[in-house]
Structure 1
Amino acid sequence: MAGVLDTVNSRTQMVGQNRLELLLFKLGTSQVYGINVFKVKEVLQCPKLTMMPKLNPVVRGVAHIRGGTIPILDLSMATGAAPLPNVENSFVIISEYNRTVQGFLVSSVERIVNTNWESIHPPPSGTGKESYLTAVTELDGKLVEIIDVEKVIAEVVPSGDAISDEILEEIPQEDDEDLGHILIVDDSSVARKQVQKCMESVGLETTLFKNGAEALEHLKALVEQGINPADKYIMMISDIEMPEMDGYTLTSAVKADPNMSELHIMLHTSLSGVFNHAMVEKVGADDFMAKFSPDSLASKAVNVLKGDYNPVYKGGE
């Protein structure tokens, strides 16, 4: 297992080409799961865990790793299955999501595979709203399930989603007129609802899509109707990691089309790392923000709405 992520930093050139690499793992059964390598900071044998009072049962303890204290979540329990046995023989995937670092307890880590977002598909329609799947793909004739980690974290460690009064006071007051419309693109049901609630809290209408392919089709349909997407939407807030078409590819396609290029695009993602900043500029996005800060997100939307937002990207938060 040592060295399985040694070359992660050298793989960032794939970003923006609708490609990704998945770290495959298991949760005590033969089913294979995947997580984007770019969300993984480290993989290690499960260290000694310290139990803490009042933790969610899914948190099997905390680990002291490289000077920090990290909660270790049992992904099997988090998705409704039995706790993983033999914790000491398990592995921990240390990852960073939504500005937080946590470890995911898994029974085994398999390998890293190179694939593309076109081969990653939304989960079957019959999986239901309670499913923890955000996408599926097929590798070597076997189904690989990608867990909606944002949903897991939101349930285990709920974060506040209220917008401060200070931000709300900045919202322009329009009589008998809609403030504007926001296009939201994200494959995570939790993330879509978070952004939708945030935007509607400041008085904006929302239209939601689950991946970049659906959003691009919608924008092209508007153009065919003679509608400039920039006239309909004050901005598009898009995730980066999505089945079928990622946010980088979506942004490139929109900005390359003179009929849509004026649409203000902010990439809103749980991914972290300096490669994001370079890629945001490369694909032509107007801004980038790490998930999820209600005040920051609302403030950016209000600034765009008020027309005092500089559209030149100057670095994400």
Structure 2
Amino acid sequence: MAGVLHNVNQRTQLVGQNRLELLMFRLRGRQVYGINVFKVKEILPCPKLYSLPKSQPVIRGVAHIRGETIPIIDLGQAIGFPAIPEEKLASSFVIITEYNRHTQGFLVASVDRIVNMNWEEILPPPKGAGRDVYLTAVTNIDDNLVEIIDVEKVLAEVSPRCEDVTEAVLSKAEVGRTQTLPILVVDDSVVARRQIERCMAAVGLEVVVKNDGQQALDYLQELTADGSSARDHLAMMISDVEMPEMDGYTLVTQCKADPKLSDLFVMLHTSLSGVFNRALIEKVGADDFMVKFSADELVERVMTVMDQHNQV
């Protein structure tokens, strides 16, 4: 397992090529799950866990790892499976991840391998799966269904954070506000879409929502089929990075290569924090990026872009 994350820096070469590397693991039984390697800091056998008073049952405890005290979430239990029994903790693994500016460990039964894939092979969950399902995407590897969990949904339930814009920021947004064009929001996570929509609604901004990069690109091309520019229709685009069919990096690359779309301001809004750096943004030509999720910061950044758009 020590070599499973070897040469992580080389993985940045995947950026803009609609590719990813998927770490495969199991929670219980034979079902395989996946997580983007970019989210993973470390994989290790389950360390000694210390109880965390008054925490939710899915938080099995905290572990002291490399000078940090990290909460360990039983990922299977968080999505409705039985908890990993105490007697099996010693043979289990913890995947240390960074999501939305926070580090946490996910307790899993076993870790399999890393697979290099194309985002076109990562598909949305079945339409009949329902609103409460914890899947954000699925794929097929070696004739086996691999399920990709909506970790943002899990974290929002395990450790809810404030999603409201503060009065101070709302007051600033009110000053000098003028009528503006809609914002295109692109994200495969229902939780992330809801968070952004709620923020924009708080300051009276209209949004158009798409679930992945391919949907967004198709929409933009339809808008500009008459020869108009994307800026004639939209104030900006806020896009996730990890999405089925077409990721955010590739979406930006495609937009910036199209003269009718290239002047649209694009902010990548991503849960990739610790391993995410500005060099990746510059490579694909995005105008800005922000790590999820801060309601106040998002509104302030968006309103700045709105002001610039209205002055043009």
TM-score of the two chains, using structure 2 as the length reference: 0.95
The aligned counterpart of 2:304 is 303
Asked whether 1:269 is paired with 2:270, we answer yes
| 8 A contact 2:79–2:154 mirrored in 1 | yes
Q: 1:308 to 1:120 in 2, by over 3 A?
A: closer
The aligned counterpart of 1:165 is 167
Shift of 1:172: 4.6
The aligned counterpart of 1:5 is 5
SS in 1 for 2:64: strand
The aligned counterpart of 1:54 is 54
| 8 A contact 1:19–1:116 mirrored in 2 | yes
**Cα distance per residue 1:96-145 (max 9 Å; x no partner):** 00000000000000001110100000000011100000000000011000
- Give the gaps of 5 or more residues in structure 2: none
Superposed CA RMSD in Å reads 1.7
The aligned counterpart of 1:198 is 199
> Where do 1:118-157 residues align within 5 Å?
118-157=120-159
| 8 A contact 1:170–1:302 mirrored in 2 | no
The aligned counterpart of 1:293 is 294
Letter in 1 for 2:138: V
Letter in 2 for 1:62: V
The aligned counterpart of 1:247 is 248
Worse overlay, 40-49 or 195-204? 195-204
Moved over 6 A (4+): none
Q: Percent identity?
A: 59
Letter in 2 for 1:76: G
* Aligned equivalents of 2:10, 2:169: Cα separation in 1: 40
* Aligned equivalents of 1:131, 1:151: Cα separation in 2: 10
User: What is the total number of aligned residue pairs between the two structures?
Assistant: 309
* Aligned equivalents of 1:283, 1:309: Cα separation in 2: 26
Letter in 2 for 1:190: V
**Cα distance per residue 1:221-257 (max 9 Å; x no partner):** 0011444221221110000000000001101111111
The aligned counterpart of 2:95 is 93
Shift of 1:164: 1.8
* Aligned equivalents of 2:272, 2:46: Cα separation in 1: 24
SS in 2 for 1:224: coil
- Give the gaps of 5 or more residues in structure 1: 311-317
The aligned counterpart of 1:280 is 281
SS in 1 for 2:128: helix
SS in 1 for 2:303: helix
* Aligned equivalents of 2:196, 2:31: Cα separation in 1: 32
The aligned counterpart of 1:18 is 18
| 8 A contact 1:12–1:275 mirrored in 2 | no
**Cα distance per residue 1:258-278 (max 9 Å; x no partner):** 111111100000012465311
| 8 A contact 1:44–1:93 mirrored in 2 | yes
* Aligned equivalents of 2:161, 2:96: Cα separation in 1: 20
Shift of 1:178: 3.8
**Cα distance per residue 1:8-56 (max 9 Å; x no partner):** 2222111211000000000021000000001000000000101111101
| 8 A contact 1:33–1:145 mirrored in 2 | yes
> Where do 1:211-222 residues align within 5 Å?
211-222=212-223
* Aligned equivalents of 2:131, 2:245: Cα separation in 1: 20
* Aligned equivalents of 1:279, 1:158: Cα separation in 2: 29
The aligned counterpart of 1:70 is 70
**Cα distance per residue 1:82-101 (max 9 Å; x no partner):** 11121221100000000000
| 8 A contact 1:255–1:284 mirrored in 2 | yes
Q: 1:52 to 1:196 in 2, by over 3 A?
A: same
The aligned counterpart of 1:314 is none
Asked whether 1:102 is paired with 2:113, we answer no
The aligned counterpart of 2:27 is 27
| 8 A contact 2:235–2:309 mirrored in 1 | no
